[in-house]
Structure 1
Amino acid sequence: MKHGRGLGKVYLVGAGPGDPKLITVRGLEAIERADAVVYDRLANPKLLRHAKPGADKIFVGKLPDKHMIKQEEISRLLVDLALQGKTVTRLKGGDPSVFGRVGEEAELLAEHGIEFEIVPGITSAIAVPAYAGIPVTHRDFTSSFSVVTGHEYPNKTYSNVNWENLANASGTIVFLMGVANIGTICGELMAHGRDPDTPGAVIRMGTWMEQRTVVGTLATLPTLVKEAGLQSPAIIIVGDVVKLREKLAWFEKRPLFGKRVLVTRAREQASELVRLIEERGGEAVEFPVIRIRRPERAETVRAVDEALRRLEEYDWILFTSANGVEYTFERMRELRVDVRQMYRAKIAAVGPKTQEALAARGLIADLVPNAGFQAESLLELLQSFVTPGERVLLPKGDLARPVLADGLRRFGAHVTEADVYENVPSLDGGEEALAMLRAGAVQAVAFTSSSTVTNLLEALRRLGEPDPVGLLNGVGLYVIGPVTAKTAAEAGLRVTASADEATIESLVEAMAR
């Protein structure tokens, strides 16, 4: 998008401390509208998913003392992109104005007459201690804090850090980018009068799943950090507020903290599962091994259309998934079939999620099982209600098991099956997922259906994994119910736990136990 005189605009955005949900609304808007996103290593790559299709994603990450791209080159890149008329989002970890060198980038943009906007971010200096249970201020301890760089520019001949003032001030001190110099930092504070017994903590990868915290004193922290092997990125916090961690630590106590869970569900359905995993402290890695779509074969489409045009003939309409509801109503709209044609039919739903999907469309299910939430439980319930000769419509997916249809026919019902959607294998995100599995970076896999089991194994084979069963048996395997468990066992997989009920909530609870 071009701005004045054909120039682009540059957004200098703070991405927050790591947790992708901690970015500001304005920051997210800047990512969504960008033609090019220029990002560093401390910006969570998940944020790039919000970039529009076709946007350039340019990595300019820098390691301490190992700059892949010099700062001057990054600043020049922003200018060059803007001169091409592009909207550019420069994505930086934390807040760009706190040791983020945003001033240097903004200066060069201003010199070239390029419009820019600085979008503040949540600084790691406050957020990371908070995620470790350490507020930087507390009325019982201190009403002030200092934020200090722990890694000054190497060519400087003097230090801007006033160690004497820092050591003798009563407030909390937060050092950013200082873990490699922790011995010097603690030594300088003690040499200038700070009590060696002053509490301190080092927090690595704060707000990320890999967060680790070491607590000690100025005298002991350097040794403790070395023994723990903590490396950058990490912050150091010094002060009596560190004492509060024992009482206030919360992030690491969530039941799925430290677990990275591979989600195999179709992307269209995965959002709720991802949300629940993240709420409980885990990290979801999406590898949707199936994709849901409307049927494409002409004969299947004809059969669906014929069934939906005869809604007034059915005594029962049975929905066995939220997908079945969605695709049924989508096709009804296209065919201009009025929902009032269902007036004769009683409606049953296999479980609460399907019931909710119906309610969202103004339909209240007449029958819903109290437990189980699978075809077997719905069939058992229907046995007391369906009478011989009644006509039943069963909108379903192409891979649905025949349990329900066969059982209803045994009851004497006339069953019309309509495959309103199809399950198609997918490899989207597969290479990343396979690499993480091989590296031991995945701790659990969530299977939400039998098809996700078979499709994941097949996808791993297609991606070149010679032993997918052995690879998966090296992590926790969690299934949504007994049918999925049976499929997994038949494939040679060792199931860690099965959900008590066939719901996403119950599956996540099984992982958290």
Structure 2
Amino acid sequence: MRVLIPRGGSWGDEVARLVTDAGFEPLILPLVTIEPAEDQEHLQRILAQLAEGRFDWLVVTSQSTVRVLPRVPVSVHVAAVGAVTAASLRERGVPVAFIPTKQSAAGLVDEWPIREGRVLWPHALDARPTIADGLRRHGMQVTEVVAYRTVPVFESGDALAEAVSTQTGAIPVVGADATRQQEELQAAGEDGADAVLTAVEPAETPIDAVLVTSGSVAKQVARLGLAGDTRIIAIGDQTAEDCRKHGLRVAGIAQRPNAQALVAALVAAAGR
């Protein structure tokens, strides 16, 4: 059973190891990448206000946001959407004051601990308004700023189909033009490790399952036109919703937003 891991870097390497340990064959093929926000002047102006302590709270909903943050004053309380993001913040020396029990944007809003104050939320270009709308309903003064953009590695369905079929030969592509209209959210794409299958498998190589970690990844997976019985495993409820919106049939959802839970959902969906 071959499992597509559409993210690379250290995360992709860890997932590939877990997939291998579970008895499956991992294939790392990054489909999206992170680009800087287009309006850097505005971003830097807002981040300077953060560094000056003009906000009471900073809400961080992705590791990609962590990478652009300046020094965060001790006077600013920091909320992380989940344990993975919190770990990235702590690695940067940023204490985390709040992580919701339900590690999602909706969970963060539902469990938000206070009802007044100034909040900064740096996010992806096409992030859903769940955080901003929800915190405003709680009485918070929310400032938003685009911190980064999630963009596809391949600019069109045709380019993706051609790259997969002629350069990698890794995935059977059917109707790659079918889905083009979805928004990008977050993910990262880098090269994979030598220890896993690389994108040079023969053209008849089947993909039996895909591990989907965000709406942006779901979009690109949908553009691959995989077989209908391909097992789609989502890292959380929101990602599962995005998968369904893109026409992907979800076979499993991770109980926690981390690599171990994602692979555990894969194992359960495979009946092992």
Q: Which bin holds the TM-score, normalised by the shorter protein?
A: 0.7 to 0.9
Q: Label 1:421 to 1:503 Cα distance change in 2 as closer, same or farther (>3 A).
A: same
1:349 paired residue number: 80
Please identify which structure carries the higher helix content: 1
Residue 359 of structure 1 and its aligned partner are, at CA, apart by 1.1
Tell me the SS of whatever aligns to 2:233.
strand
1:494 aligns with 2:221: no
Aligned equivalents of 1:416 and 1:437: distance in 2?
50
Query: For the Cα contact (< 8 Å) 1:266–1:291, is it kept in 2?
Result: no
* Deviation, structure 1 residue 438: 6.6
Aligned to 1:409, what secondary structure does the other structure show? helix
Alignment of 1:282-297 (within 5 A): 282-295=24-37, 297=38
Partners of 1:269 and 1:323 in 2: CA distance:
13
Amino acid at match of 1:347: V
Match 1:307 to one of 42, 46, 60: 46
Q: Is the deviation greater in 425-434 or in 360-369?
A: 425-434
**Structure 2 residue corresponding to 1:280, chosen from 12, 16, 22:** 22
Q: Residue 130 of structure 2 corresponds to which residue in structure 1?
A: 403
* Structure with the larger RCO, 1 or 2 (CA within 8 Å, 6+ apart): 2
Distance 1:347 1:478 in 2: 30
Give the 5 Å matches for 1:121-136. none
Q: Which structure has the bigger radius of gyration?
A: 1
2-side partners of 1:417 and 1:449: how far apart?
Answer: 21
How many residues are matched?
228
Determine the structure 2 residue equivalent to 1:260.
2
Question: In 2, are the aligned partners of 1:266 and 1:289 still within 8 Å (CA)?
Answer: no
Deviations 1:409-461, CA, capped at 9 Å, x for gaps: 11121212222221110148733232469725222111111111112223x3x
Q: In structure 1, what is the Cα distance between the partners aligned to 2:80 and 2:13?
A: 21
State whether residues 294 and 327 of structure 1, in contact with CA within 8 Å, keep that contact through their aligned partners in structure 2: no
Q: Secondary structure at 1:393's aligned position in 2?
A: strand
For residues 474-489 of structure 1, the aligned pairs below 5 Å read: 474-489=229-244
> Which residue identity does 1:495 align to in structure 2?
V
Could you tell me whether the CA contact under 8 Å between 1:268 and 1:292 is conserved in 2? no
Q: Letter of the 2:213 partner, please give it.
A: T
TM-score with structure 2 setting the length? 0.76
**What is the one-letter code of the residue matched to 1:262?**
L
**How does the TM-score come out when normalised to structure 1?**
0.42
The residue aligned with 1:375 is 105
Unmatched segments (≥5 aa) in structure 1: 1-258, 333-338, 461-467
**Alpha carbons of 1:437 and 1:506: their partners in 2 closer, same or farther (altered >3 Å)?**
farther
Q: Is the 8 A contact 1:479 1:497 kept in 2?
A: yes
Which residue matches 1:454?
219
Amino acid at match of 1:360: E
- Shift of the 451–503 alpha-carbon distance from structure 1 to 2, 3 Å rule, reads same
Alignment deviations for residues 378-417 of structure 1 (CA, whole Å, 9 cap, x no partner)? 11121x32x23x1111122223211011111111212122
Change (3 A) 1:402 1:353: same
Supply the RMSD in Å over aligned alpha carbons: 2.2
- Say whether 1:443 aligns with 2:213: no
